[in-house]
Amino acid sequence: MSGGMHAARPKISHERPVIRQLDEAAANRIAAGEVVERPASAVKELVENALDAGARRVTIAYADGGKTLIRVSDDGHGMAPEDLPLALSRHATSKIDGSDLLNIHTFGFRGEALPSLGAVGRLSIISRTDGQEGAQITVTSGRIGAVKPCAANRGTQVELCDLFRATPARLKFLRSDRAEAQAIADCVKRLAMAEPFVSFTLTDVSGGESRDILRLEGEQGDLFDALEARLARLLGRDFTANALRIDAQRDDLHLTGHAALPTYSRGAAVAQFFFVNGRPVRDKLLIGALRAAYSDFLARDRHPAAVLFLNCPPELVDVNVHPAKAEVRFRDPGLARGLVVSGLRHALAEAGHRASSTVADATLGALRPEVTGPRVYQMDLSARGHSGYTHPGHTGAGAIAQSYTAQAPAFGEAPAAFDGPTPSARIEPETGPTDAPLGAARAQVHENYIIAQTSDGIVIVDQHAAHERLVYEKFKRQMAENGVPAQALLIPEIVPLSGGDAARLLAHADELARMGLTVEPFGGDAVAVRETPAALGTINAEALLRDILDELADLGQSQNLTTRLDAVLSRMACHGSIRSGRQMRADEMNALLREMEATPHSGQCNHGRPTYVALKLADIEKLFGRR
C-alpha cells in the first residue's frame, strides 16, 4: 500500500529533503511571477512609478501586445546616476522608510517592480534629475550592467524588451497580442482616471508603425470638473451626461465620483471603476456595495456604471494584502460598505424622476426612417412645381404619389378593408401646467401611453410602469415606518449548522429580526427559526438561512432577505397599479405626472426600464427637416 501511495503522490519523498538558499536571480523570478502576471502588469508598475515621481506627462509605447517591447517615459523627478544600481535591488525604494507599512501615500512602496522586471526580460533605464547628467543602466535576465553616461531630458525612460525571455514557459500562458494590448489600454485608462491632471499617451509601435491608441491632455479646473472631463473622454459623453455626482462622508471616510442613472445600465460589469486613496482596485466589498445600492432599481441581468473614489486616512486601510495591490482591506469594512450604499442611494433619490438621455436618443433613432434604397432628391423629380427640402431617407414626392396611385381604389370601388389593429387615442384639452417637468397630459394612446406637452417638447409615459413604481415606493415607505410584520411559526424550525456558520448568523440576529426573521441558538451548533416575514408566506427557512450565510461569507453583509421582501412588494405593486388598457381621464393622467415628479426613482420601473421618454421639440423638428 505504501508503494501505491507513493506512486499517487510523487512529490512526497522518503528521503530527508535538503533545505537550500535560492540565489538572487531565482528569487527575483519568483517575485516577478507574483508582481508581473502579464504585460499590462508591467505597464501598471512602470506608470505608477512615473506618477509617484511627480510626472505631469506620461508616454507609453508597446509592441506585439507588450511581449516584445514596453517603453514608459515621464517628466518626473528622475534619478541620480548613483541611484540607478540601487533602484534595481529588491526592496530598495524612496517611497517609505520601512517604519510604518500603514502610512502609505504612494502607488508603489515595496521596491519590487524594477528588479522583478529585470529578472524576466531585458531592462534599460535612462534617467536624469535636476542638476546632474543623464545616466543609463541595463539589466538582462537579472544580470546588472554598469552605469553609463547618457544624454537625456529630465525624467525617466524605462524600456522592457522580450518580456519573460528568462521564463519562456510563461509566454505560453499569455493571450493573443490583441487581448494583451486591450489589457494594457484598460490599465492605462484606470490610472488616467486616478490622475486627471496628468497627460497620457499610449502608442502601439508594432511592425515598425506608430499608432496612437489613447491621447489625453491634462485636465484643468477643480477636481470634480477635471474628473468629469477625463471621464467624458474615456467613457464617453453619454456617461457623464447621465451620471450623478457623488459626494458623501461618514466619519473619516469620504466618497466621491460619478454614478450613472439606473436607466443608463450595462449588460455586463464593464463600466465599474473603484479607487481607494487614488489607487485602482478590484475589491469584492466595494463591488458588492455597488450592487446592493442599485439592487432595488435594476434587473439581475443589468449592471450599474460608476466611477467611485473612496478616500480615508492611510492607517484605516491596508493596501499590502495582494501581490499586485489590486485588493485592499478596511479596518472597518461595514463602515466603508455602508457609506457606498447610503451615498449612492441618497444621490439616486435626489435625482427624483430623472431618466437617462440615452432613452430619448434611442427613441429618436427608432423614429428616423431607414434608408432602404437610393435617395431621391427634389431636384431630380420630373414633376413641375416641386422644390424645397427632402429629409434624407424619405422617398421623393413623385415616388409617394406613384405609390399612393398604385394602392388607391379606382373610382366607384369600395375602399379595401384595413387589416391592422384598430387605433385607439383620446385627445384631452390642455388643463395641466406645461412648464412642469413632465408637462400637461394631452392624450392617451392605446390605453397605455400618456402623451404630455412640455414647454419645449413632449413626454411619453408608460402609465402601467410609472404607477407600478409609485405604488412600490409607497409600500417601501410604509414598511420602513411600520416595520416588517412577522408571523410566528407554530413549531420552530431547527436548522443544523456548522459552528462557524451558526456564530456568523447569530452575530446578525438583531438585523435579521428587524426584517421579520427571528433566529435563536438551539444547543450545539443548531439554530431555531421562530418567526419569518409574513409577506413571504410559507418558506423553506433552512434554504433561506443558507443563502444568507453565503452572502455573509462573500460580502460580510446579507441583502438576501431585503431582496426577497422587495420582490414581494414589487409583485404587489404590479398587481395594484394601473393596468395597461385602462382609459384615464385628463385629471387622472395629470395627477400621475405630478406624483412622478414628487417621487424618487420614478424615472424607471421596478426592473430598471424607463417609465417615460422626453423628446425635445428641436429634435422632433429635425425629424421632419424643419431644422
Q: What is the CATH number of the domain that holds 116?
A: 3.30.565.10
pLDDT band at 428 (very low <50, low <70, confident <90, very high): low
Decide which of 170, 187, 216 is a domain's last residue.
216
pLDDT band at 198 (very low <50, low <70, confident <90, very high): very high
Residue 384 inside a domain? The answer is: no
pLDDT score of 68: 93
In this prediction, residues 158-168 reach a mean pLDDT of: 83
Rounded-to-integer distance, Cα 484 and Cα 571, Å: 16
Percent of the chain with pLDDT over 90: 28
Q: Answer yes or no: do 241 and 112 share one domain.
A: no
Boundary-marking domain end, from 326, 351, 376: 351
CB atoms within 10 A of CB 194: 21
Q: Are residues 347 and 357 in the same domain?
A: no
pLDDT of 180 > 80? The answer is yes
- 345, 357: one domain: no
Say yes or no: 46 and 81 in one domain. yes
* 497 is a domain residue: yes
Position 83 in a domain: yes
pLDDT at 228 over 50: yes
Residue 536 has pLDDT above 80, yes or no: no
How far is Cα 348 from Cα 345, in angstroms, rounded to an integer?
Answer: 5
Contact indicator for 38, 62 with CB cutoff of 8 Å: no
Write down the residue that cell numbers 467613457 correspond to.
Answer: 235
As a whole number, the mean pLDDT across the chain is: 79
CATH code (residue 259) = 3.30.230.10
What integer is the mean pLDDT of 361-381?
Answer: 55
Cα distances from 517 to residues 52, 390, 472, 536, 552, in angstroms, run 51, 66, 22, 11, 16
* 3-state per-residue secondary structure call for 146-202: CCEECCCCCEEEEEEECCCCCCHHHHCCCCCHHHHHHHHHHHHHHHHHHCCCCEEEE
Q: Report if residue 517 sits inside a domain.
A: yes
Q: Between 425 and 119, where is the model more confident?
A: 119
pLDDT band of 103, cuts 50, 70, 90: low
What mean pLDDT is predicted for residues 472-491? Answer: 82
Query: Quick check: is 13 in a domain?
Result: no
Q: Are residues 562 and 616 in the same domain?
A: yes
pLDDT tens digits along 584-626: 888 889 899 999 888 888 888 777 788 888 888 888 887 777 7
Which of 323, 351, 379 is the C-terminal boundary of a domain? 351
How many beta carbons lie within 10 A of that of residue 299, not counting itself? Answer: 13
Task: Give the model's pLDDT for residue 421.
Answer: 54
601 and 459 in a common domain: yes
SS (H, E, C) 46-75: HHHHHHHCCCCEEEEEEEHHHCCEEEEEEC
For residue 411, pLDDT beyond 60: no
Per-residue confidence at 109, pLDDT binned at 50, 70, 90? Answer: low
| Same domain membership, residue 211 and residue 244 | no
Tell me: do 144 and 262 sit in the same domain: no
More confident residue, 567 or 225: 225
For residue 340, is pLDDT > 90? yes
CB 533 within 8 A of CB 561: yes
Q: Is residue 90 part of a domain?
A: yes
Name the least confident of 107-116, 242-251, 507-516, 618-627.
Answer: 107-116
Q: Is the predicted pLDDT of residue 38 greater than 60, yes or no?
A: yes
Give the range among 326-335, 350-359, 560-569 with minimum mean pLDDT: 560-569
Residue 9 confidence (pLDDT) above 80: no
**For the CA atoms of 178, 180, 181, 185, what is the dihedral angle to 10 degrees?**
130
Pairing of β 317-318 and β 306-311: unpaired
346 vs 115, higher pLDDT: 346
Amino acid at 190: R
pLDDT at residue 135, rounded to an integer: 94
Provide the pLDDT confidence category of residue 206 given band limits of 50, 70 and 90.
very high
- Of the chain, the percentage scoring pLDDT greater than 70 comes to 74
What pLDDT score was predicted for residue 358? 66
Q: What CATH number is given to the structural domain containing 562?
A: 3.30.1370.100
Q: Which domain holds residue 282?
A: 233-351
For residues 454 and 600, membership in a common domain is answered with yes
Residue 393 φ/ψ region, left for φ over 0, alpha for ψ in the -120 to 50 degree band, beta for the rest? left
User: What are the two backbone dihedrals, phi and then psi, of residue 479, each rounded to the nearest 5 degrees?
Assistant: -65, -40
pLDDT tens-digit readout, 237-279: 989 988 999 999 998 999 999 999 888 888 888 999 999 998 8
> Buried (b) or exposed (e) across 74-97, using 16+ Cβ within 10 A?
bbbbbbbbebbeebbebeebbebe
* Range of 192-196, 373-377, 544-548 with top mean pLDDT: 192-196
> Who has greater pLDDT, 363 or 336?
336
Domain match, 148 and 84 both: yes
Instruction: Tell whether 542 and 568 lie within a shared domain.
Output: yes
For cell 422617398, name the residue.
395
Same domain, 107 and 246: no
Q: Is residue 404 part of a domain?
A: no
Within a domain: 617: yes
CA distance 13 to 384: 100
| Predicted confidence band of residue 8 (pLDDT cuts 50, 70, 90) | low
Number of domains in the chain: 3
Most confident of 34-38, 276-280, 326-330, 576-580: 276-280
pLDDT class of 72 with cuts at 50, 70, 90: very high
Residue 27 banded pLDDT, cuts 50, 70, 90: low
